[in-house]
A and B are shown apart, each in its own frame.
Chain A
Amino acid sequence: MQSNVQQFPPFREPQPQHAHDSHGHAEHHEPNFWQKYIFSTDHKVIGIQYGFMSLCFMLFGFFLMLLMRWQIAHPGVPVPVFGPLLEKILGQPAAHGAISPDLYNSFGAMHGTIMVFLGVVPLAFAAFGNYVVPLMIGAPDMTFPRINMASFHAFFLGGVVMLVSFFIPGGAAQAGWTSYSPLATTIPTNGQAFWLVGMVLLITSSLLGAVNFIATIIQLRAPGMTWMRLPWFVWAQFVTAFILLLAFPPLEAAGVLQLMDNLAGTSFFLPTGLAVGGQLVDRSGGGSPLLWQHLFWFLGHPEVYVLILPAMGIVIEVIANNTRKPIWGYKSLVYSVLFVGFLSFIVWAHHMYLTGMGQKIATFFQATTMMISVPSVIILTCMFLSLWGGSIRINTPMLFALGFLPMFGIGGLTGLPLGLAAADLYLHDTYYIIAHFHYVVAPGTIFALFAGVYFWFPKMTGRKMNEFWGRVHFWCSLVFMNLVFMPMFAQGIKGMLRRMSDGAVNYSAARVPNAIDALPGSVMQLNGWILWAAIALGIAQIPFIINLFWSIGHGEKVGTNPWSATTLDWQTPTPPPHGNFAHEPQVVRGPYEYSAPGHAEDFTPQDEPESSAAPLTPTAHH
């Protein structure tokens, strides 16, 4: 392998002519605003576009959640401050400034959709992946820069379609982010059709992105950047791209079929004899509601790993950098992530234990679900063991990365009972589920994403974000995240179901005193506490937002490698110019050569030439 690498042709081989490349070296013209920020083909600009959009969408999704939490804590009571505005914008569904059950359903469906498909995935995969991966592997750009641009535009369009659906008659989709049929077809709103069209656009965007990422990582690695020298973040993105490439299309197929159900009157997911409101539906029937669930979760479960793997990649980079020692178990991490990627395709039906698909099938998926926890635990264990004996530097990115470990641990471990059919029968569709997956995604993934923002901000701007306010952001977020989600475990175990617009008042002991399993006042009281914790969590993000924008112009100026990191992304000028590298990087060692004996500094960049004349030894792999 290595001898091959030595024989590479020059990296940026000059082509015989530039007819196909309008950005030739000869005429260097200053691009205008549109070329530079809207129709840019530069992976770094596209990464920032994705990052900015997805942060905006996350804020919007969070705001939807705040409105829902108000409704859960105070059912039917007009929303303070924002109520009149809601009524003005949305009209009847928000009459008197209160949230109607239909509107609550819309908000619920759109909160999930926006957070997953327009918030976390674009930030974790598209934004960080676009910005960091080409830099890390020593590439001048993505393999297909124009397709990269098209990917962002499809994403943007998908987001617009999703947002527009709030304003059509009947409102946005109301069948949950999972859009189960026949509910999704029988609810009298075209919001579902908008949702499906929006999803097709988002899937197109992710398809273009995934092809680009995989091709870039395979084709554009710098000379000497062998597979086992890739930073683990790149591995995580590589597997994520494969998951997106192969798991999303079945949902696209399902989306096309449901669109046919909604617009062309077919019955793909509608069973024979379906009645709505006591009336037989004028459909041929013969379809299968279970089919939708299979196709949806065939994406839906791998999607969980799309959410978590890039986040883990960020955490590994930040931990390696701040413990100042090589990451523990690099090879185990690589094989684990590949195994997770593969297994994630055969666990989907653990979301469907209650559908009556049969015990044998349930047993199979139960077994694979238990198996997939093994590589996940290996990854987390490697992270923990990497801390052992390190001279740990505490800074904001490291705090968020360290916060990720226990939070993701809680999220992962509370998932085990849900993977076992017997326990899941009880816990299914309760607040326990909500607490579980939010621990994985919110204090888990989103903490890792914050770590990434604080970590790579100096590379994007040449300035650091304010450390003090970063720590305020971290500690407040950590406390309030837990205050929001921890009580939900208790509510779920007590049997409080999710997706109820009245916050389960109808099942409370106050309403039905004689029912055996009525929810006691202590459980209902938690709704109020969670609301205040959520509001506090929102306030805790204000320092971050201000810090982010203020630091662009006023943060502490730093050099090209402020964290003294080893990977190639820190060996470029800051911010990296179009084309990234001043000269072609020659990679001579693995990604985490921290505190290597015999070196003056405690870090050795991947492309720093060997000082001695000694021949290249394979020690770099250890």
Chain B
Amino acid sequence: MEIPYTVQNRPDTGIYNAKLGIWLFLASEVMLFGGLFSAYVLLRVGAAPGEWPHGWLNVTLGTINTLLLALSAITTLLAWAACKVRDFGKFRIFHACTILLALTFLGIKSYEYRDKLMHYEIKLNNGKFADGHLVEKSADFDLAKKTGSVTLHGHFVDDEKELADLRSPEAQAAKHGEVVVAATDIKSMGNYGPRHNTFTAIYFTLTGLHALHILGGTLVIFYFWAFGGAMWKTDPERFTNRIEVSGLFWHFVDLVWIFLFPVLYLT
């Protein structure tokens, strides 16, 4: 038994099965990310005045990542074009670039995550806040037993709201240095992980889900890159279709980032 139109276009619809399938899948993905983006909008609109964070993310790293994905979109297209003109060698070169670009993207993303997870906000017993990146915890540091101290590279603020808008002139002017806080002074302490506030929550969720898509796409592309030779020899047209379909997915994942970058980094 053969399923028709697995490789050739059906004449009246002008499309082959897998391409239609991936477009339908992407429609569903649009609704998935659409749901998450509307969650972002509602959370942001519903935030108390002055509490929604600005400038918490590194725009330079975000820009570099945007460029990496834009470049990978080009190499993906070129890889498909190389298949179309039946040049397997070129295909391998271009998709090797795609894979490297994707891995670099994920590397930078992990660095950014690490930066957020190392960043602590400490609520002090005197009502003030200490905020900064963790330098070290003393060996006997134990928050429950109130022993030891923690060292941050950062500063003290009187009001938590001063930490919200890091683009403001006051925040830009703040002096950062080594800050040592004794456990006895600490009321509560937490890093900028997902539970810090709704911004970090939606940031980690959105970018985490996006990173999973990048990872999945990379794995698929790597599979075709490494093990596609057999099908290339027997059925190059079908293989080319596979590259096109996986490429469509890749372009969609890039597109999601094009929305994520301004929404999270620039506003």
Contacts and interface: CB of A to CB of B under 8 A. Distances in A.
Interface of A: 1, 4-5, 7-9, 11-17, 19-21, 23, 25, 140-141, 143-145, 147, 207, 210-212, 214-215, 218-220, 245-254, 256-257, 260, 264-268, 272, 283-284, 286-288, 290-291, 294-295, 298, 578-579
Contact of B34 (A11, A250, A251, A294): A250
Contact of B46 (A245, A251, A288): A288
A291 B238 contact: no
Interface stretch (B84-92, B151-159, B173-181, B194-202): B194-202
A207 B25 contact: yes
Given A19-B230, A249-B29, 16 more contacts: A9-B8, A13-B8, A143-B20, A210-B28, A215-B24, A219-B17, A220-B5, A254-B39, A267-B195, A267-B201, A286-B48, A287-B198, A290-B42, A291-B42, A294-B42, A295-B35
Contact of A210 (B2, B11, B24, B47): B24
Interface of B: 1-5, 7-8, 10-13, 15, 17-18, 20-21, 24-25, 27-29, 31-36, 38-39, 42-43, 46-48, 51, 193-198, 201-202, 205, 209, 230-231, 234-235, 238
Contacts of B238: 20
Contacts of B46: 286, 288
Nearest to A345: B31
B195 A283 contact: yes
B12 A4 contact: yes
16 contacts: A13-B4, A17-B235, A144-B21, A214-B24, A215-B20, A215-B24, A219-B17, A245-B24, A245-B27, A245-B28, A253-B39, A267-B198, A288-B42, A291-B42, A295-B35, A298-B35
B195 A265 contact: yes
Contact of A266 (B48, B194, B209): B194
Contacts of B209: 256
A143 B21 contact: yes
A579 B231 CA distance: 25
Contacts of B10: 219
A578 B36 CA distance: 42
A257 to B, nearest CB: 6
A453 B11 CA distance: 36
A215 B27 CA distance: 13
A144 B39 contact: no
A423 B202 CA distance: 37
Contact of A15 (B7, B32, B36, B202): B7
Contacts of B231: 19-20
Contacts of B24: 210-211, 214-215, 245
Given A4-B11, A210-B28, A287-B43, A264 B234 contact: no
A23 B1 CA distance: 7
A586 to B, nearest CB: 14
A219 B47 contact: no
B43 A288 contact: yes
A143 B201 contact: no
A253 B2 contact: no
A268 B21 contact: no
Going nearest first, the 10 A-B pairs with the smallest beta carbon separation are A253-B35, A250-B35, A265-B195, A579-B1, A249-B32, A266-B201, A249-B31, A19-B234, A286-B198, A284-B197
Nearest to B15: A219
Given A19-B235, A143-B3, A215-B24, A268 B31 contact: no
Contact of B47 (A214, A260, A286): A286
Nearest to A141: B3
B21 A291 contact: no
A281 B201 CA distance: 17
A291 B17 contact: no
A16 B4 CA distance: 13
B241 to A, nearest CB: 11
Nearest to B29: A249
A610 to B, nearest CB: 22
Contacts of B33: 253
A21 B231 CA distance: 12
B12 A143 contact: no
A215 B21 contact: yes
A150 B189 CA distance: 45
Contacts of B17: 143-144, 215, 219
Contacts of A578: 1
B194 A265 contact: yes
B149 to A, nearest CB: 23
Nearest to A220: B4
A210 B10 CA distance: 20
A420 B34 CA distance: 29
Nearest to B197: A284
Contacts of A145: 3
B28 A211 contact: yes
Given A12-B4, A143-B21, A288-B43, A266 B27 contact: no
Contact of A11 (B4, B12, B15, B196): B4
Contacts of A15: 2, 7
B246 to A, nearest CB: 15
B259 to A, nearest CB: 14
A291 B12 contact: no
Contacts of A4: 11-12
B197 A286 contact: yes
B43 to A, nearest CB: 6
Contacts of A253: 32-33, 35-36, 39
Contacts of B196: 284
Contacts of B29: 249
Contacts of B11: 4, 7-9
Nearest to B233: A19
B7 to A, nearest CB: 7
A265 B25 CA distance: 31
A250 B3 contact: no
A21 B36 CA distance: 39
Contacts of A257: 36, 39, 205
Contact of B195 (A1, A16, A284): A284
A264 B21 CA distance: 34
Nearest to A144: B21
B104 to A, nearest CB: 26
A25 B1 CA distance: 7
A12 B2 contact: yes
A248 B17 CA distance: 23
A141 B1 contact: yes
Most chain-B Cβ atoms within 10 A of its Cβ — which of A11, A257, A266, A578?
A: A266
B211 to A, nearest CB: 13
A202 to B, nearest CB: 14
A15 B39 CA distance: 48
A97 to B, nearest CB: 41
